[in-house]
Amino acid sequence: MTSMTLAATLFGPEDLRMVERPLDPLASGMVRIRFGAGGICGSDMHYYRHARTGDFVVTSPLVLGHEIAGEVIEIAGSAPGLKTGDRVAVNPSRWCGHCTPCREGRLNLCENIFFMGSASKTPHMQGGFASMFDAIPAQCVKIPDHVSYQAAALAEPLAVCLHAVARAGDVKSKRAVLFGSGPIGLLTMLAARRAGIAEVTVVDIAAAPLAFASRLGANHVVDLSNGEEALKAMAPFDVAFEVSGTAAGLASAIGAVRRGGVVVQIGNLPGGQIPTPANAVMAKEIDLRGSFRFGSEFTTAVELISTGSVDVLSLVTAERPLSSAPDAVRLALDRSQSVKVVLTAH
């Protein structure tokens, strides 16, 4: 009997449809996973609005979703340590293991990477917002029974933030400013706290996410819609995390750090050339560091969630069934109504 999967498929800007299609027989060396939960990410929202995120452009129908967890329901061939019925967090990265970055241990920079739900490669690698989807065993990290699929799905964004904080270097006892109080900004704050940061100031242009950041433990919040005076009065900072994905946020981050400070760019900026105050990078001798996805931090994120060390569910403001994914993405886009929206199986 042919298996059917129901998948949230993007055809163009603001054209996301639930499409049912047959699944091919499971290929050797693969595992089939039944969807348990999936987090809606900023890049999913960018794809929804513009059919692109940064320089990655959707050129054929794309199933969204890369923050996912579920149950292994079929295995073809060898999958050491895995069996049907296992509950897993799914690492959306499929690394080659043999290119120069992989050999250097920088897996996130793999030259041949395939990343679920991304238009970075053509043909695109389909995502996990589907009632069933396939992965390789190496992508599957088992989760204990007490961890919900909703929490396990958020291992991916937590891994992004653990990697970003690692890119900042030793942050112990330092003062940080964080631009953007969406889910990645908030998880970066929690990851920085784990790494021993002394003080975090969160900056945004929207009041509701800033109020949420305060409740989650930000030392200070600054609403930039009222101008930069309050931020300037608190500067300079030792380290800045740019999570807003805006040219203005990057410029403010460069302006806010001290001489010899560090700026970590996590946010995906608009594609093409953008104006940057590069002279300040030179004159203040700022370290401007990129942070792209994650490597081994995915396994660490699953462990932190499993032990209760990081409460990722504190970010979740709504859950919606996978079948209503288009409406759920629209809800996620409304920052006055939501912080993190998670899709569930039913």
199 and 285 share one domain: yes
Position 302 in a domain: no
Instruction: Quote the pLDDT of residue 282.
Output: 97
Q: Report the distance separating Cα 267 and Cα 178, nearest Å.
A: 11
Task: Classify residue 17 by its DSSP letter.
Answer: E
Kindly state whether residues 131 and 177 are assigned to the same domain. Answer: no
pLDDT at 226: 85
Within a domain: residue 295? no
Residues 134 and 13 placed together within one structural domain of the fold: yes
Domain residues for the domain of 68 are 4-153+311-344
**Number of compact structural domains in the chain:** 2
Q: Which amino acid is at 238?
A: D
Rounded Cα distance between 109 and 290, Å, is 11
Question: What CATH number is associated with residue 187?
Answer: 3.40.50.720
Residue-level pLDDT at 1: 61
Q: Is residue 112 part of a domain?
A: yes
Residues 148 and 163 in one domain: no
Alpha-carbon distance of 157 to 139, in angstroms, equals: 15
**Domain holding 106: CATH number?**
3.90.180.10
- Whether the Cβ atoms of residue 178 and residue 201 lie closer than 8 Å to each other: yes
Cα angle at 148 between 142 and 150, to 5 degrees?
Answer: 105
Residue 321 counted as domain residue: yes
The sign of the dihedral angle between the CA atoms of 123, 124, 130, 136 is positive
Residue 77, Cβ neighbours under 10 Å: how many?
Answer: 11
Q: Does 305 fall in a domain?
A: no
pLDDT for position 271: 79
Please report the pLDDT score of residue 161 as a whole number: 98
- Provide the pLDDT for residue 242: 98
Residue 258 class from Cβ within 10 Å (0-12 exposed, 13-18 middle, 19+ buried)? Answer: middle
pLDDT of residue 3: 84
Give the CA dihedral 128, 130, 136, 137, nearest 10 degrees.
Answer: 90
98 and 183 within one domain: no
Q: What is the pLDDT along the chain (346 residues), one digit of tens a residue?
A: 678 999 999 999 999 999 999 999 999 999 999 999 999 999 999 999 999 988 899 999 999 999 999 999 999 999 999 999 999 999 999 999 999 999 999 999 999 999 999 999 889 999 999 999 999 999 999 999 999 999 999 999 999 999 999 999 999 999 999 999 999 999 999 999 999 999 999 999 999 999 999 999 999 999 999 899 999 999 899 999 999 999 999 999 999 999 999 999 999 888 788 889 999 999 999 999 999 999 999 999 999 999 999 999 999 999 999 999 999 999 999 988 899 999 999 9
Whether 269 and 168 share a structural domain: yes
Question: How large is the angle between the packed helices 207-216 and 183-194, nearest 10 degrees?
Answer: 20
**Angle separating helix axes 297-306 and 155-167, nearest 10 degrees:** 120
Place of tokens 């897996």: 107
Instruction: Please report whether residue 215 resides in a domain.
Output: yes
Name, in order, each residue with C-beta under 8 angstroms of 98's C-beta and a sequence gap of 6 or more: none
* Token representation of residue 324: 């209503």
On whether residue 82 sits in a domain, the answer given is yes
Query: Do residue 130 and residue 220 come from a single domain?
Result: no
